Amino acid sequence: MPFSSTPSPYRCKLPPGPSAFQPWKSNFAVQHDLLFFLNTLIQTYGDTVRFQLALWPAYLLNRPEDVKRVLQTNSHKYDKDVLFFRMLRPWLGNGLVTNLEPASWLRQRRLLQPAFHKSYIAAFDTIMTTETVGMLQCWDVDGEGSRPLPLLHEMQRLTLRIASRTLFGSDFSQHLDPFNQALIEVNEFFLSYLRFPFPPLRFPTPRHKRFWRAKRFMDSVIYEMIAHQRQTHEERKDLLSLLLQAKDEETGEPMNQQQVHDEALTLLAAGYETTATVLTWFWCLLAQHPQVEERLHKELDDVLAGRLPTGADLLRLPYLRLILEETLRLYPSGWLEMRKAREADELGGYTVPKNTILIWSPYLLHRHPDFWVQPERFDPERINLPTSLYQQAREADTWIPFGNGPHRCIGQHFAMMEMTLLVATIAQRYRLLLAPGYRPEIEPFITLGARQGLPMLRQRR
């Protein structure tokens, strides 16, 4: 698709970039290492780059003011009608992440928002700590030993248990293991399909058959949970109950069966993977910085004295929060974002023609040397350093692990509470050490994964 010829109110000035006549080079790089490719474009051409993404003209953005204009200031000129979100729709349906129609998305956002109010999610603290203790009891039985544990997989199992219990209650426990396996199969499918999205999903290839089989199983479980909730008249405090009770403010209509399914599946799939990824990098960074770990242990010992944390302790653990925020800066799980220009606009003095794809990476933006002192350095105390640009950077929207504007992650407070409680529970009983000889490497797919699941050793404190 060529750049739109629609008349623009802006003078036509296009950013620099590689030749549009060799799109195969861009496509090859995208399929093999997209993050490396994007970083190379920035290093070569600057903070705004024009390139060809398959059939679509695209701009790569790496200035916070440009990203803010797309997400917040001029968000009405941009939508999510891009290939990435379209590819997820066969799996997630028309949930909050993949809803491409602005008016419909806004209605759903308003219906879901009350379920994620701080006062409501605070009641989930016991579920979070109870499930974490259950994992630690398995660790106790397994023993410390010398066998490395793929930490990413362990964190995924834990966060899936928490996501399923907060969403469905305890009724989901019998489905947990097969559902986890289905999620693994779907994730593996998309890792492959995002790199090479051919042939279309309707063709019955072995890869596609595995996806549809996993999809059908997940659908059947979600619909079973919905039917059970509708038949149960007892008062419940899980998120699915709120979805079923939610009604449109204007029409008074509740969500239909399909919409409840799509939102429930979206919350479950998105809620466990992203949190598990951040927690994995948290433990990796902590293992590499013993002084930070020592100070964290002191804070936990002083505040908790061996007891389980609660939601009331969140503000009493400021150093833990700083470590989490710095982890989110260096390793945001949602490392890539895209939008499409619905109409012409201007970003950073450059013309943005209609239908242009806008791409940016919080991973790269969070490491921009113009906004961060020693950006590659792990430093939880940036906010306390007189020479630091940490606070200014956050105010300037260069710290956006949860996005920004109307589409800011609806589960931000839930995720921060969950990560704080899980870390506070685990770190009181165990230290996690990198497996000997292992060198941490990122695997940027849908989230910012870790090579080999980041193998670590457990050591009792």
Per the document, the length of the chain is 461
- Is residue 409 part of an annotated ligand binding site? yes
| Contact of 103 with 271, CB cutoff 8 Å | no
The span from the first CA to the last CA of the chain, in angstroms, equals 59
Q: Which two structure tokens, joined as six digits, stand for 341?
A: 């220009």
| Contact of 108 with 267, CB cutoff 8 Å | no
Give the angle subtended at the CA of 372 by the CAs of 368 and 375, to the nearest 5°: 70
- Tell me the C-alpha distance between 299 and 296, whole Å: 5
* Omega before residue 199 within 30° of 0, cis: yes
- Tell me the C-alpha distance between 321 and 315, whole Å: 9
- Tell me the C-alpha distance between 377 and 433, whole Å: 20
- Tell me the C-alpha distance between 87 and 90, whole Å: 7
* Omega before residue 18 within 30° of 0, cis: no
Question: Exposure string (b/e) for 251-280, b if CB count within 10 Å is 16 or more?
Answer: eeeebeeebbbbbbbbbbbbbbbbbbbbbb
| Contact of 258 with 93, CB cutoff 8 Å | yes
Question: Exposure string (b/e) for 70-82, b if CB count within 10 Å is 16 or more?
Answer: bbeebbebbbbbb
| Contact of 44 with 389, CB cutoff 8 Å | no
Q: H-helix or E-strand containing 398?
A: none
| Contact of 210 with 191, CB cutoff 8 Å | no
| Helix axis angle, 412-427 to 290-304, nearest 10° | 90
Which of 216, 245, 253 shows the shortest CA–CA distance to 229? 245
Strand, helix or coil for residue 429: coil
Q: Which two structure tokens, joined as six digits, stand for 413?
A: 């407070």
Q: Which residues are annotated as a binding site for heme?
A: 409
Q: What residues are designated binding site?
A: 409
